[in-house]
Amino acid sequence: MLNKKENIQIISSEQDSLREYFLKIFRNRFLIQTFSKRDLKIKYAQMWLGLGWTIGSPLISVAIYTLFFGYFLHLNTFKYPYLLYILSGLIAWNIFSQLYTNISSSLLSNRDIITKMAFPKIIIPLSKVLNVLIENVFLFVFFIVAFALFYVPLSWKIIVFPFALLGLILTGFSIGLLLAALSIKKRDVSLAAPNLINMSVWVTPVFFPVSIIPQAFQNYIYINPVAAYLDIFRWSFGLIDDINHFSAIGILLSCVIFLTSFLLFKKSEDFIVEYI
């Protein structure tokens, strides 16, 4: 008599509980790495410069922004070199914007896999998180090297940096997930997404100091979760002295967006295959 247990996946039309949903994600976690490797191979296989473009592109951007905002517009009002301000802003913005862009279109661009395989569809957006972190490693290393060369002292505040990083990931993932779920039924959402990200960079202090904004409106910019986490990022490395108290609202808002987008996406799993 054979008592071997078989790993059988039961597909049901009933809505999974949160516990069952997380268990399904855990059982299919290997797909996160699989999809991530596939996307990276496809991306760099079609480039002449390959990985060199990933290294060179952000450095070119840093040079342009530093010259334009720091020297031509004279926006450098900080106690440390403007290069560090630009680098920290670009790292934070890249993580958020790349997650937002990649995840918001991830379901439509993977419709063939979604219609042929049974797995939690949130696996696809999760694989984008891994890709974005890998692609921004070099820029972060360059930031650390520049940080050391300018002899900026570190303090206990550095322990807060992982919280800022997690917050940026959470915000980009959440908004991207929300748009991905909405785009299943409303395809014009995916068309509007790039325009929204292009506009939002100008309400986030990525390249400019908040001091250039009229005093009456300075606090309100931190209701933007990306601005709030960017402020914490810079504070953790000692680039700014204080965190604006309005950042607490931005952090709370990011948590609300995450819960809303996750629950909406979980609910939409039932009809993704039908509408995609």
What is the C-alpha separation between 267 and 16, in angstroms, rounded? 9
Across the chain, mean pLDDT equals 85
Mean pLDDT of 31-59: 77
pLDDT for 118: 83
pLDDT for 72: 76
pLDDT for 5: 45
pLDDT for 11: 52
Smallest CA-to-CA distance from 97 within 151, 73, 61, 150 is with: 61
pLDDT for 215: 85
Q: Is the pLDDT of residue 29 over 80?
A: yes
**Distance from the Cα of residue 105 to its chain's centroid:** 14
The answer, as to whether pTM is greater than 0.85, is yes
Q: How big is the chain by its Cα radius of gyration, in Å? A: 21
pLDDT for 2: 40
Least confident range of 2-11, 36-45, 91-100, 259-268? 2-11
Instruction: Kindly report, residue by residue over 216-229, the tens digit of the pLDDT.
Output: 888 999 999 999 99
Residues 6+ apart with CB under 8 A from 39: 127, 128, 131
CA distances from 166 to 78, 134, 138, 181, 226 (A): 26, 15, 18, 22, 11
pLDDT for 248: 95
pLDDT for 3: 45
The residue assigned the tokens 């790349």 is 98
Mean pLDDT of 251-271: 92
Least confident range of 89-93, 105-109, 159-163, 186-190? 186-190
Instruction: Kindly report, residue by residue over 179-210, the tens digit of the pLDDT.
Output: 998 888 777 777 777 888 888 888 899 988 88
Residues 6+ apart with CB under 8 A from 115: 273, 276
Query: What are the residue ranges of helices labelled H in 66-160?
Result: 82-104, 106-109, 111-116, 123-135, 137-149
Mean pLDDT of 48-70: 76
